[in-house]
């Protein structure tokens, strides 16, 4: 054994000790690399082959190049390392929209309205056609490292040294009491910190008298299955089954309730739409199967596949589908993908064209029907079908208003209007006070009309109904500028049709 081991060690690379069998795929790659008429980057060729291979599997198995792995992992980590500001490019200048409270930039004295001109004296940011990702690369870095930032504040240059740190990326957008007994929580994704954030939010609301809850999962594309299961555990009692996974090469694995939940008996409504996917569907599906919550909204995306990420030797990664997940009564809500990835991605658009998003009942899911313990009919094979349908708002919105979003004009206007009227907005201490005491009117609209003309957007001729109908949204964007997502939803929710429907449902339970 010793002689054999030493012989292999000293003859590394000799064919006798290697697997001489190569696949035809590897042979073709080697021949192209070694013999092809033109030079082709080997990484580019391999990535193309891998992508084509995965395209024959399912829409959610993906290859992640090495340079993108850290960024992809950050999305689920719930934090990143950087300086702690939210910025946006206006007129080729980096403007600070928000400074994370108690974060590195906050401690260094950066303020909303500062313009970042230079980084480390050598890199000039102002006046260049930079992308947001390029700017992040200059500002982000390992926690503890120092970056020197040159800013323009009220027309005067200021240099600030910022010690980078770990910046949280919240999963819970907002948690507040809508009235004396009804709470509202919105979760935007399921990351490593989501359950912890959720518990903190719930405990805070219970101290304020929470008896019934509206849980908003609209637009939540999913994330970590385990986080969704832990949150479901807070709503379900005993050792109820929450979800189970199973694949051809992966045995059945069950997620069950394992602790006493914070909210096992109070009235519960869950809001979903066509962009609620994956872990969002696991949570809403479990609550629907056990007749624990009323699901309100529109049929969810329909992703019932489980991915596991595998690290590859060159630093890249493969996120491979290894199993399907099933709701407690056995539903797999994965929508069909046998017509290719392109058709799969067009499915949401087809829902709009076939009228489902407007009338709901005209297009039933393709899968079988199931009956819950309480006798309600639910469906598999294509998302979670809500108990109460709320149609998509098809109110015609003029192209001019759409252009405000597409060109970034609205964000730019809200920011600049806030900076110019900062002393006025500072009189409002909370989003609740702001919603009650401040109303957008003709003054703000006139300012927006003038500002939009810079981007060749003409708002002056819009009908009065369209104009006044836009006022509440503009007010919510001002609230977002001041209090971020918390402000936006606290101000916008009273005008939200789906939230209104949820409150009506709770009052009837």
Q: Cα separation of 196 and 205, whole Å? A: 14
Please pick, among 171, 276, 278, 316, the residue that the annotation labels catalytic. 278
Alpha carbons 69 and 237: distance in angstroms, whole number: 38
Strand bridging mode 267-272 / 294-297: parallel
**426: annotated active-site residue:** no
Q: Which candidate in 58, 216, 289, 387 is catalytic? A: 289
Active site residue 314: no
- H helices of 299-353, in order, are 341-353
Cβ partners under 8 Å of residue 91, min gap 6: none
| Cβ 453 vs Cβ 407: under 8 Å | no
Q: How buried is residue 72: exposed, middle or buried, by Cβ count under 10 Å (0-12/13-18/19+)?
A: middle
Per DSSP, 383 falls in state: S
The answer to whether the CB of 298 falls within 8 A of the CB of 348 is no
Integer CA distances (angstroms), 368 to 199, 329, 363, 506, in order = 35, 12, 14, 29
Contact at 8 Å (CB) between 138 and 128? no
- Cα–Cα distance measured from residue 328 to residue 319, given in angstroms and rounded to the nearest whole number: 26
- Give the active site residue among 303, 316, 412, 501: 303
Q: Which residue has the tokens 């980590």?
A: 77
Burial label, 279 (beta-carbon count in 10 A; 0-12, 13-18, 19+): buried
Q: Write down the residue that tokens 């469906």 correspond to.
A: 379
- Please name which of 168, 160, 148 lies closest in space to residue 114, comparing C-alpha atoms: 160
Cα angle 89, 83, 203 (rounded to 5 degrees) comes to 105
Backbone phi, psi, residue 456, to 5°: 60, 35
Is 128 one of the annotated active-site residues of the chain?
A: no
Catalytic residues: 278, 289, 303
């Amino acid at each position: 054994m010793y002689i054999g081991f030493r012989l292999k060690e000293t003859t590394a690379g000799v064919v006798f000790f290697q697997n001489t069998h190569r696949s035809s795929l590897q042979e073709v790659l080697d021949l192209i690399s070694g013999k092809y008429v033109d030079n082709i980057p080997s990484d580019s060729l391999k990535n193309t082959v891998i992508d084509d291979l995965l395209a024959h599997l399912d829409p959610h198995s993906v290859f992640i190049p090495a340079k993108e792995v850290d960024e992809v992992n950050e999305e689920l980590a719930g934090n990143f390392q950087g300086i702690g500001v939210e910025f946006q490019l206006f007129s080729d200048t980096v403007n600070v929209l928000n400074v994370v409270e108690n974060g590195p930039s906050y401690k260094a004295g950066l303020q909303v309205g500062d313009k970042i001109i230079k980084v480390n004296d050598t890199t000039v940011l102002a006046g260049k056609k930079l992308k947001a990702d390029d700017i992040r690369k200059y500002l982000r870095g390992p926690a503890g490292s120092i970056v020197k930032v040159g800013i323009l504040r009220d027309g005067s240059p200021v240099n600030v040294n910022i010690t980078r740190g770990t910046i949280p990326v919240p999963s819970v957008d907002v948690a507040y009491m809508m009235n004396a007994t009804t709470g509202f929580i919105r979760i935007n994704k399921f990351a490593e910190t989501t359950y912890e954030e959720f518990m903190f939010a719930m405990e805070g609301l219970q101290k304020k008298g929470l008896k019934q809850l509206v849980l908003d999962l609209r637009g939540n594309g999913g994330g970590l299955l385990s986080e969704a299961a832990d949150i479901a555990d807070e709503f379900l009692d005993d050792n109820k089954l929450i979800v189970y996974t199973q694949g051809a090469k992966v045995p059945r694995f069950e997620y069950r309730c394992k602790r006493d939940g914070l909210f096992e008996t109070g009235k519960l409504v869950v809001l979903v739409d066509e962009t609620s996917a994956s872990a969002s569907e696991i949570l809403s599906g479990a609550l629907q199967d056990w007749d624990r919550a009323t699901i309100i909204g529109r049929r969810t995306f329909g992703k019932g596949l489980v991915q596991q990420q595998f690290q590859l030797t060159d630093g890249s990664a493969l996120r491979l589908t290894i199993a399907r997940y099933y709701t407690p009564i056995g539903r797999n809500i994965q929508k069909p993908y046998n017509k290719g990835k392109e058709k799969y991605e067009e499915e949401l658009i087809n829902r709009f064209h076939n009228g489902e998003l407007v009338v709901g009942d005209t297009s039933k899911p393709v899968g079988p029907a199931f009956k819950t313990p309480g006798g309600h009919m639910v469906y598999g094979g294509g998302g979670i079908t809500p108990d109460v349908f709320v149609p998509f708002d098809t109110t015609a919105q003029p192209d001019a208003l759409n252009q405000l979003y597409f060109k970034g004009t609205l964000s730019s206007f809200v920011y600049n209007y806030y900076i110019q009227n900062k002393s006025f907005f500072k009189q409002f201490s909370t989003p609740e006070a702001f919603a009650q005491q401040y109303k957008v009117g003709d003054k703000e609209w006139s300012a927006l009309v003038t500002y939009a003309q810079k981007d060749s957007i003409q708002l002056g001729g819009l009908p009065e109904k369209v104009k006044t109908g836009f006022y509440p949204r503009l007010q919510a964007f001002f609230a977002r500028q001041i209090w971020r997502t918390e402000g936006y939803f606290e101000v916008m929710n009273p005008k939200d049709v789906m939230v209104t429907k949820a409150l009506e449902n709770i009052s009837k339970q």
